[in-house]
Amino acid sequence: MSFTEPTLLTPAPEPTNTSRIPLPEGTLTVGVGLFIAGISAFVFFKIGQQALGQDGFKPIVAMWFIAFSLAPGFFLPIEQEVGRALSHRRALNQGGRPIIRRMIPLAATMLIVLAAVIAVASPYLTKHLFDGYGVVVVCLVLTLVSYAPMHLARGICSGSQRFGAYGVIIGADGAARVIGVAVLWALGVDSVGAFALMIALSPLVGVIGVGLFGKLHTDTGPPAPWSEVTPNLGWLLLGSLFAAALVNAGPITVDILGTDAKPELITQFGNAVIFARIPLFLFQAVQAALLPRLARLAAQGHLDEFRSALRKLLMLVVGVGVIGTAGAFAVGPAVLKLVYEGNIDRRTLSLLALSSALYMVAVTFAQATIALRGHALAGIGWALGFASFVALATWSSNDLYLRVEIALVGSSAVALISFVLALRSRMIKFS
């Protein structure tokens, strides 16, 4: 699964008692879906390496992190804007089908452009990242073909407050992928293409399932001008793309820079990244439930309550980050060796967990900035973070792992500082 900007689930009406922030309806279902997706990532990596070996699984690792940079980077803004626009129309008792009709060709255009770029880059990808397996490039394109409708469907569910269906889409993606590779393993299949195809097709299972039960239905309504669905799409796209690239850049960079490294080293680093992201899985459930509340408070002009909600959220996020980093330091190497039979040292796991913690805090400040209509500042902040990652990965160290670890920690810190300053300026403007 990917970790990028939070999805915009529509919260329940504001309580009169603002001393605490109740979770919106459907939070538990979304959390269950995210939990299944998180567990499935661990299981998928484990089964894949059992079937293909750590060296044979390396092309799948590269495809995984590239796919989860591109898919949410380009299509999460579609989901966010669909959810926002449908929620707005729902409040006005207007049907949202014209919104979907506007967004489908936009998503299709993005998909065609991405497929064309991948086709041009396919010789490089096949030779340098996918170990000569051209079929993995095909599966990468198919993954984007699957994730485009998945994000559109999630936007429909969030904007229509169908949170159960939203959770099913997330959970079914991970569950279908694991069941698929388990069957392949049981049958003795050791084809890289077959395992890559499981990543490509699994998103469609949940989309088809909720669609068959009518959960993607939208009513007719007044025409939707482009201004209704794309007021901030450009800045959201910029921010989402760089945020997704930043959180998935580690294993891809190790692969690119480690031209002479053994394939299992890239796989082992990917394992470490998956492990270090445990707090991010927990954080996604929190952000899906609570961050949209910030947007509601900002829209209502309740800045005191906005500050209070943000402080509570930050306390929770920082707490999760500290626990995650301490856990990675204390038991990370032992757990990783037990699960994946790979030797990743304590420094690597601790720095990866620290970068995840900083990233979570950065996302929190970024979303608060967006809630105060700072879309441009958020996009610029993620761009600065990614630029600092490139610079640090290029010049920080001669050690392959360490240079990427430093880049991940440093870039997340740069993004965080940028968002803190951006939020401060927006708070002053709204005061």
Kindly state the average pLDDT of the residues 197-226.
95
110 and 171 share one domain:
yes
For residues 54 and 342, what is the distance between their CA atoms, to the nearest angstrom? 9
Taking only the tens place, the pLDDT of each residue in 225-235 is 988 888 888 89
Owning domain of residue 149: 24-231
242 and 183 share one domain:
no
More confident residue, 354 or 89: 354
87 and 140 share one domain:
yes
Is residue 2 in some structural domain?
no
186 and 302 share one domain:
no
Given a cut of 50, is residue 367 above it in pLDDT? yes
Work out the pLDDT band at 130, boundaries 50, 70, 90: very high
Given a cut of 80, is residue 79 above it in pLDDT? yes
User: What percentage of the chain carries pLDDT values higher than 90?
Assistant: 65
pLDDT value, residue 259: 80
Q: Are 105 and 235 in contact (CB under 8 A)?
A: no
182 and 330 share one domain:
no
Given a cut of 80, is residue 140 above it in pLDDT? yes
299 and 163 share one domain:
no
Given a cut of 50, is residue 10 above it in pLDDT? no
Amino acid at 393: A
In this structure, what DSSP letter does residue 256 have?
A: H
Give me the phi and psi of 397, to 5 degrees please: -160, 160
Number of domains within the chain? 2
Kindly state the average pLDDT of the residues 250-270.
91
pLDDT value, residue 361: 95
Is residue 7 in some structural domain?
no
Considering the chain, what is the average pLDDT of its residues? 88
Annotate 110-129 with b (16+ C-beta within 10 A) or e (fewer): bbeebeeebeeebeebbeeb
Count CB atoms within 10 A of the CB of residue 12. Answer: 14
For residues 196 and 186, what is the distance between their CA atoms, to the nearest angstrom? 17
Q: Exposed (0-12), middle (13-18) or buried (19+): which is 191, by Cβ within 10 Å?
A: middle
* C-alpha dihedral, 380 to 419 to 13 to 21, nearest 10°: 160
How many separate helices (H) and strands (E) can be counted in the chain?
15, 0
pLDDT value, residue 88: 81
- Of 188, 207, 231, the residue that ends a domain is 231
pLDDT value, residue 13: 42
For residues 20 and 320, what is the distance between their CA atoms, to the nearest angstrom? 19
Report DSSP letters for 106-119, one per residue: HHHHHHHHHHHHHH
Given a cut of 60, is residue 244 above it in pLDDT? yes
400 and 311 share one domain:
yes
Work out the pLDDT band at 84, boundaries 50, 70, 90: confident
pLDDT value, residue 280: 81
Is residue 17 in some structural domain?
no
pTM: 0.88
Taking only the tens place, the pLDDT of each residue in 144-187 is 999 999 999 999 998 888 888 999 999 999 999 999 999 999 99
Kindly state the average pLDDT of the residues 209-214.
96
Work out the pLDDT band at 342, boundaries 50, 70, 90: confident
Kindly state the average pLDDT of the residues 114-142.
97
Work out the pLDDT band at 38, boundaries 50, 70, 90: confident
Is residue 213 in some structural domain?
yes
- Of 213, 231, 249, the residue that ends a domain is 231
386 and 428 share one domain:
yes
Work out the pLDDT band at 289, boundaries 50, 70, 90: low
Is residue 1 in some structural domain?
no
**Closest C-alpha to 4, from 73, 65, 105:** 73
Range with the poorest average pLDDT among 27-31, 122-126, 186-190, 372-376: 27-31
Is residue 397 in some structural domain?
yes
387 and 273 share one domain:
yes
Here the tokens at position 363 are: 């996302």
Is residue 123 in some structural domain?
yes
Kindly state the average pLDDT of the residues 270-279.
90
pLDDT value, residue 32: 84
More confident residue, 7 or 103: 103
Given a cut of 50, is residue 271 above it in pLDDT? yes
For residues 196 and 157, what is the distance between their CA atoms, to the nearest angstrom? 28
Here the tokens at position 198 are: 């499981």
Kindly state the average pLDDT of the residues 371-399.
93
Give the H/E segment covering residue 246: helix 233-257
Work out the pLDDT band at 9, boundaries 50, 70, 90: very low
CA distances from 197 to 13, 144, 193 (A): 42, 12, 6
84 and 210 share one domain:
yes
- Of 182, 214, 231, the residue that ends a domain is 231
216 and 300 share one domain:
no
290 and 365 share one domain:
yes
Is residue 342 in some structural domain?
yes
